[in-house]
Structure 1
Amino acid sequence: DSFGDGNGDHPRATAVWLSGVHAWERNGRLGPTSIKLGVTADQIAARQLGQATPLPSLELVLERPTAISCDSGDCFYSNTITWRDETTPLEMEPHPRVVFERLFGDGGSAADRRAQARHSGSILDSVAEEALNLERSLGAGDRGKLAEYLDSVRDLEQRIGRAEARDEQAEIDLPDRPIDIPEDFEEYATLMFDLLALAYQADVTRVSTLMMARETSPRTFPQIGVPDQHHTVSHHRNDPDYIARKAKIDTYHISLFGRFLEKLRATPDGDGNLLDHSMIVYGGGIGNGNLHEHTNLPCLVAGGGTGRLKGGRHLAYPEDTPMANLLLTVLDKAGVRADELGDSTGLLNTATLADV
């Protein structure tokens, strides 16, 4: 429901997908400079699971952000699916090289990366010492701001320490640093999925999001016989030819995702593999692109959840079941406690989901 604020169907689909919260239009109820949504499920997980890793979460996207063609909604809502809080959308990174250097640094070897971490640590030590000296001359209000700053410095120190310990304990074979976004979409998607798998393998992060396409995506897929833009194909108007083209795109996307799952399955992790120890939700915020329907969303939950999930079943829930109920249940299975998420009404039937 747009609630009369004019926000387009496509931005709403992106925004609500992981939040369960209605996206408020920039020129709507909150005034000319306001955006408002809600914390997304991944960031709720990152607050807890991200405490043990150098990066609390990782946000990737396979299309560059845009400031136009956002279907009458604010482009903030179209360019990301992850929000730290109700007014802070997180930027999703499209460049493989930036992702690689964020994960592993720009050093060519593990020794180089450890040297970088030690150098960063020494700089933070100096910053903290200078800040403490400054504190003596500040008033009460400024001391509060300085305390927040020092908390951030200490958080960075802890993350650098965890990164050093991780590099000392485990070595993984890293690919060459990517140069730029590959022109071939399949190569691009595979590269980003591979970086995500490496991030899990190296325990750089345990929480991630990857958006395969923006809403109203203009991408074409001539490599699978679909020369039309994705968005155009989604409005098939019940034309059998366009419905078949849309099915080709969906099948292509799920095949790329499937390769990622196979890579996780092939990567040893503890007493199993990375897929055994993961829970991954795949899907989108529009159930019927032709009619812009946001009901009957097809979702895939993959991974073993360290014994908490079993695959191989198709489950149908009542039509009025909020998507947020599934996300809340996945958080619960991951050991992340949250009383509610957006418009959630409770957990899904636990006994049923245990058989997913």
Structure 2
Amino acid sequence: MIVSKKALPRRTFLRGLGTAMALPLLDAMVPAMSSQAASAAAPERLRRLGFVYMPMGCDLSRWTPPGSTTLDTLSPTLEPLAPVRDHVSAISNLELRNAYPGTHATSNASFLSAARAKRTESTDYELATTVDQVAARQIGQQTRLPSLELSMDLLATVGQCDNGYACVYQNSLSWSSPTTPLPAEAHPRIVFERLFGEGGSAEDRRAALKKRASLLDSVTGEITRLRSTLGPEDRARVDRYLDSVREVERRIQKAEIDSKDDTLPDLDRPDGVPASYAEHARLMFDLQALALQGDVTRVITFQLARETSNRTYPEIGVPDPHHPLTHHGNDPEKIAKVAKINQFHVSLFAEFLARLAATPEGDGSLLDHSLYLYGSGMGNPNVHDHANLPILVAGGAAGKMGGNRHIRYAEPTPLANLHLTLLDKVGVRLDSFADSRGMVDELSEPLSI
């Protein structure tokens, strides 16, 4: 590692045995310029874009915020967002016309593409380049990973999965071209090694892993040398970041040990991950936070569960499989259980936002310099519609967006309008995206009450 007295390169890595660890933004990385110029330049470099997919829609009666302009009063499902509401906007009456005929496959496929999936059970599938990959082509080219695709489920199913649609439409949120779906990773260990490992083949990474007990142990000397060149605030930032990395690695190691004694594994869950859905999800969210903080990637997609997932949630008192519950036939008890799952998913996202908001970066926080879309490609799962989608937008986009607002359209409006807007917020300029008819101007306007 070469440390410059003038400015530490943003692409500085701590290197050890099978390790290449990026660092968070430090004062030592700010070029020698006036503080005003540095402040103006930093946010432009630090815009990130993330997408979190919630499967199978929701109970809209418990989701939709009661307020017409703000989130001062939250709906039951969105109540966990209370601590971070100033960073969040809800948007009602967005639709995905190209997701019809209403299926689970097209809900997932159209969410980030706003395109119509070719109906096929074979490998001649076709969709469109998704919004995350459009962003990755511009804002992802300066990072080690142009984009990061994550999920919670082991996506091993192939062939036909839903009314004549190939399983790939449910398995992949992200497509780098109309014929190239990107696989998502559900295993925290594999994600951890992708973020902080040296790279090379899978065999190389496994060999390095066997030779070191901890990733940080292999860069102890590098850490000591780096700290000797930094000021007190930067040393504290590095220490906090490395503590977070070590804690995530410890939780992954514990899950791997515990899984050896698991006599009843979840068929949808990879080996070596936490038995608790919440702990698994928190690990995946924490890995996203570390990836963003270290500028390993600036574009992330995360699938909270697969469409048609039969996952159960006993930890919140819902032992019933998720998918059958969504076909509730207006049974109040089943609808209440669906809403409980919806709120649980939102609570995990809210925890993630709180972590980003509590992570200082530059002239603000990690959340101030990020932008996340959370939602589903399905509205009412009981009828498989793609109207009035549950949609949230969170983050500051480096000063380009506010929060604590509820945007409610009088007429159904393309979700592609929002995709076009988010691209614009992170500096990707397009005239249109899919079936967009304009942008969500309300996200840029001052909130008037």
Q: Are residues 102 and 109 of structure 1, via their aligned partners in 2, closer, same or farther at CA, if it must alter by over 3 Å?
A: same
Deviations 1:310-329 (A, max 9, x none): 11111112443111110110
Match of 2:105 in 1: 11
Higher strand share: 2
The structure with the largest helix share of the pair is 1
Match in the other structure for 1:44: 134
How far residue 74 of structure 1 moved from its aligned partner, in angstroms, is 0.8
> After the TM superposition, which of the residue ranges 177-186 and 192-201 deviates more from structure 2?
177-186
Q: Are positions 1:280 and 2:372 aligned together?
A: yes
Corresponding position of 2:189 = 97
Is residue 26 of structure 1 aligned with residue 120 of structure 2?
A: yes
How far apart are the structure 1 equivalents of 2:100 and 2:422?
A: 32
2:391 aligns with one of 269, 278, 299: 299
The residue aligned with 1:342 is 434
Q: Matches of 1:35 and 1:22 in 2, distance apart?
A: 11
* Identity within the alignment, %: 49
1:253 corresponds to which of 334, 345, 348: 345
C-alpha displacement at 1:298, in angstroms? 1.4
What is the SS of the residue equivalent to 1:301? strand
Aligned residues of 2:113 and 2:128 also touching (Cα < 8 A) = yes
Say if 1:33 and 1:57 are closer, same or farther in 2 by CA, change over 3 A. Answer: closer
* Aligned mates of 2:346, 2:288 — CA distance in 1: 16
Is the contact between residue 219 and residue 229 of structure 1 (CA under 8 Å) also seen in structure 2?
Answer: yes
3-state SS in 1 of match to 2:302:
strand
The reply to whether residue 80 of structure 1 matches residue 161 of structure 2 is no
- Opposite residue 198 of structure 1, the aligned amino acid is L
The answer to whether the 8 Å contact 2:368/2:399 transfers is: yes
Q: Do the aligned partners of residues 36 and 354 (structure 1) sit closer, same or farther apart at CA in structure 2, a change above 3 Å counting?
A: farther
The count of aligned residue pairs is: 298
Task: Rate the CA distance shift 1:289–1:272 in 2: closer, same or farther, 3 A.
Answer: same
Aligned to 1:121: none
**Superposed, which structure 2 residues align to 1:147-186 within 5 Å?**
172-173=241-242, 174-175=245-246, 176=249, 178=252, 179=256, 180-186=272-278
CA separation in 2, counterparts of 1:353 and 1:220?
41
**Residue deviations 1:245-300, cap 9 Å, x none?**
11100000000000000110111111111011111000000000001010111100
Residue in structure 1 matched with residue 162 of structure 2 by the alignment: 71
Q: 2 CA distance for matches of 1:67 and 1:7?
A: 22
Distance across 2 between alignment mates of 1:62 and 1:351: 30
Residue type of the partner of 1:245? K
Q: Show the counterpart of 2:424.
A: 332
Q: Which moved more, 1:175-184 or 1:92-101?
A: 175-184
SS at the partner of 1:60?
strand
Paired position in structure 2 for 1:35 = 125
Aligned-partner Cα distance in 2 for 1:205–1:355 = 31
> Any unmatched runs of 5+ in structure 1?
116-168
Residue 2 of structure 1: how far off its partner (Å): 9.7
- In structure 2, the residue matched to 1:200 is 292
Alpha-carbon offset, residue 76 of structure 1 = 0.4
For 1:74-153, list aligned pairs within 5 A: 74-105=166-197, 108-109=215-216, 112=219
Secondary structure of 2:405's aligned partner: coil
- The alpha carbon displacement at 1:350 in A equals 4.9
**Structure number with higher relative contact order (C-alpha < 8 Å, ≥ 6 residues apart):** 2
Distance 1:240 1:306, change over 3 A: same
Cα 1:111–1:337, aligned 2, differ >3 Å: closer, same or farther?
A: farther
TM-score of the two chains, using structure 1 as the length reference: 0.78
